[in-house]
Structure 1
Amino acid sequence: MRIAVALSGGVDSSTAAYLLKEAGHDVFGIFLLLAQPAPEEEIQRLERICAHLSISLEVVDLRQQFASSVIEYFRRAYLKGKTPNPCVVCNRKIKFGLMLEAARARGAEKLATGHYVRLFREEKSGCFYIRKGRDLRKDQSYFLCLLDQNQLRDLTFPLGEYTKDEVIKIARQVGYFGLTSAESQEVCFIRGDYRELFPPDLASPGPIVTTDGRVVGRHRGLFNYTVGQRRGLGLRLGEPYYVIYLDVENNRLVVGPKAELYRHFFWVRRPHFVCPDQVSLPLRVRVRIRYRHTEALAWVERDGSDLKVVFDTPQRAVTPGQFAVFYRDDMVLGGGEIFLQ
């Protein structure tokens, strides 16, 4: 089988390519130009890795599409008082959208990545689903919640049954570990502070108020803050205060004690289900509200064109702009963007 492997220069994607080649597949590497500060250096490193693995390399320039679809989404979300998750959007539109199209155009039957997830095809329905990787410390299923059947059917994830330690061991044994780069950062287009993406004149200072309406300080522009934040508020109120929500309409930063961070329910806008024909609402699931959040039991019910998610136990810092992901056991059923009414 001819398989394109999305290469980043890291140990994970390189090991994925090695495993597929060892299994007898016709493998080639594909590298996306997105927002790398020194793409020539990245390409040179990848050429050395590909030479070591005896595979070819294709370079696809998606910088313009990445800027308009991902970076601009990121900026707009922050200016609307949200905390975006660009990786979820990039995976749907760029990595498993445009890159998958590029791989198919080059004769690939499958596209492989170094994600620590597993692909599962349900026998009864024929639907493909993402399952958590065996190494739960590295599981990346959360970031793939918006993929659909047209994408999933042409994907493969060679590292799903491996732990990170096992992958590193393979890389050392094969002899290319020294050629790979360090662990990639979570948001690839941010080199330091995300606030650097916003010109200083965009900042519109305003009042910091408590949930009962007391003015207790001044903020430096709402895009500088996120729900649950404690540091950097400049408050001296005798007890820790946290960002509860961002009141964009009135340019107010609303703060309160830790207890006020907990919410019993929220809504999901533009919900996506991996296999919609197999979903019947209301739905009993485990819900993850950010990447490092431990899933919590909840009911998901229809509310007009949106979904309402009601937790059994209130959860801390439900953040507009982040994604809620629905799990049945270790399987991703879908998800969507969080908002509060």
Structure 2
Amino acid sequence: MLLKDQGYDVFGVFMRNWDESEETGNANCTVEADYAQAQSVCRHIGVPLHEVDFVRQYWTHVFSDFVAQCEAGVTPNPDLACNRHIKFGALLEHCKSLGADMVATGHYARVQRCANSGQLQLLRGVDPLKDQSYFLASIHGSCLAEVAFPLGGITKEHVRQLAMERGIPSAARQSSSGICFIGRRTFGDFISNYTEPVVGRFEDVTTGQDVGPCANMLAVTLGQGSGISGLKSRMYVVGKDMQSQRVYVAPAQGHPSLFTSSAALQEAHWIAGQPPQELQQGKGLSCSFKARYRQAPQSCTVSVPSDTRGVCKPSRFTRLRGVWPSAGLYVAFKDSARAITPQQAFVMYQGEVCLGSAPILYPGQTLYEMEIPAHGREDLQQPGAISPQALHSAHKEVDMRNLTYAN
């Protein structure tokens, strides 16, 4: 609507990325309803709608890897892979074959040309509550010249107001959230369609005691409530040892076993096509980061592992299946970070500019392991700074380049 108002020749495209016909247990499938909604909107604003099937590409480039990582016991984020391979890969090429010069999406993000280098940069959306640059942090920078984000410069509230004023059929529709192909099911119910459950035991990190059975270790992730019944207080997941089949839990949302001052990352994807100059020169990169979508940005220093620095002793609460790649980057957090989760996207920013992303390889030792107290529940949104001495103690003795997880 906004682009048509500006005089652009616009057509719509509806993607089918997921085949619901072979699934069981999903009474909330919405693809047909979504398609009917897209048809209604396009009729209302007077533009044609094309339909394209990317089910095979989605399975190959996104979902198969998602399942493999779930089986290893990590928590992958398929949305970044979908944007990289499907929306800003296959869809972009398909739209160009239909005669499009650019592809516009509803992401709350912006594109701007750098005054110094002349390169196009990906920026946060102006609405801090809806900024979606996190999910775009693995796309190729070369595609920024062929995409538009017309919603990136306005707020969600303003978008909804405009849609209601123009009578758009979907104006009052609730915003989507969560992984698209899971719908309203629990993650455990969904993943059981594609993996065998891994039965384990919960262990309280403060006492070492067994506190009950875990029906499926693949369905729990760091930071979430454990769901253990019959206990006096709620327990939170601290980590998983897939080899001994133990899920570590702690009795408070702000327990120090949930916080760390360091982490190791896999090789990074830089939107500019190359690392920032600081890293190329062997220096530390001061930047902000998000380790999950809803997280408020925090400060950190990123560096490349070397013989003399860039070491990060992993938390004993996190041991995965299989052999994992060596670390590509080391991160020291200015303030302690909560629930740093293997294979979630670690997205880096300088100011408003999204630099790129890297999968989290493992969290460093927790504050509990280092015997450093964490703040209570009231301070979870802005955890307090860790002393320089505490940060130093987290950086000892393990060269990330040579660290792997044993079979």
Query: What TM-score results when the alignment is normalised by the length of structure 2?
Result: 0.74
1:31 correspondence with 2:18? no
- Percent identical residues: 31
1:251 correspondence with 2:273? no
1:266 to 263, 274, 277: 263
Worse-matched range after superposition: 196-205 or 255-264:
196-205
Q: Is the 8 A contact 1:130 1:141 kept in 2?
A: yes
- Please give the alpha-carbon distance, in whole angstroms, between the structure 1 residues aligned to 2:171 and 2:202: 49
Q: Is the 8 A contact 2:342 2:361 kept in 1?
A: yes
Deviation sequence 1:183-227 (CA, Å, 0-9, x none): 223311112112223338812322222447443332112112110
Structure 1 residue 266, shift from structure 2 partner: 0.6
Structure 1 residue 268, shift from structure 2 partner: 1.2
1:197 correspondence with 2:194? no
Q: Please give the residue correspondences for 1:74-85 in structure 2 after superposition, counting only pairs within 5 Å.
A: 74-85=66-77
The 1:279–1:272 alpha-carbon spacing in structure 2 relative to 1, beyond 3 Å, is: farther
Structure 1 residue 157, shift from structure 2 partner: 0.5
Match of 2:51 in 1: 59
1:338 correspondence with 2:332? no
Structure 1 residue 333, shift from structure 2 partner: 0.6
Q: Please give the residue correspondences for 1:45-194 in structure 2 after superposition, counting only pairs within 5 Å.
A: 45-177=37-169, 181-191=173-183, 192-194=185-187
- Please give the alpha-carbon distance, in whole angstroms, between the structure 2 residues aligned to 1:54 and 1:333: 38
Q: Please give the residue correspondences for 1:293-332 in structure 2 after superposition, counting only pairs within 5 Å.
A: 293-303=295-305, 306-332=328-354
2:2 to 10, 16, 19: 19
Deviation sequence 1:25-60 (CA, Å, 0-9, x none): 111111101227354443333222212212111111
* Structure number having the greater strand percentage: 1
Structure 1 residue 326, shift from structure 2 partner: 0.5
Structure 1 residue 240, shift from structure 2 partner: 4.6
Runs of at least 5 residues in structure 2 that lack an aligned partner in the other structure:
21-28, 307-326, 364-407
Q: Is the 8 A contact 1:300 1:308 kept in 2?
A: yes
Q: Is the 8 A contact 1:322 1:337 kept in 2?
A: yes
Report the 3-state secondary structure (helix = DSSP H, G, I; strand = E; otherwise coil) of the residue aligned with 1:186: coil
- Please give the alpha-carbon distance, in whole angstroms, between the structure 1 residues aligned to 2:44 and 2:5: 13
Deviation sequence 1:266-311 (CA, Å, 0-9, x none): 1111211111154422200011110111111110001265101110
RMSD value over aligned CA atoms?
A: 2.2
Report the 3-state secondary structure (helix = DSSP H, G, I; strand = E; otherwise coil) of the residue aligned with 1:334: strand
Runs of at least 5 residues in structure 1 that lack an aligned partner in the other structure:
1-17
Aligned residue pairs, count: 323
The 1:306–1:161 alpha-carbon spacing in structure 2 relative to 1, beyond 3 Å, is: same
Match of 2:221 in 1: 226
- Please give the alpha-carbon distance, in whole angstroms, between the structure 1 residues aligned to 2:227 and 2:234: 12
Query: What TM-score results when the alignment is normalised by the length of structure 1?
Result: 0.88
Q: Is the 8 A contact 2:164 2:172 kept in 1?
A: no
The 1:251–1:111 alpha-carbon spacing in structure 2 relative to 1, beyond 3 Å, is: same
Q: Is the 8 A contact 1:75 1:197 kept in 2?
A: no
- Please give the alpha-carbon distance, in whole angstroms, between the structure 1 residues aligned to 2:178 and 2:201: 32
Worse-matched range after superposition: 65-74 or 36-45:
36-45
Report the 3-state secondary structure (helix = DSSP H, G, I; strand = E; otherwise coil) of the residue aligned with 2:10: strand
The 1:262–1:131 alpha-carbon spacing in structure 2 relative to 1, beyond 3 Å, is: same
* Structure number having the greater helix percentage: 1
Structure 1 residue 181, shift from structure 2 partner: 4.5
Structure 1 residue 338, shift from structure 2 partner: 0.8
Structure 1 residue 152, shift from structure 2 partner: 1.5
Match of 1:6 in 2: none
Match of 2:322 in 1: none
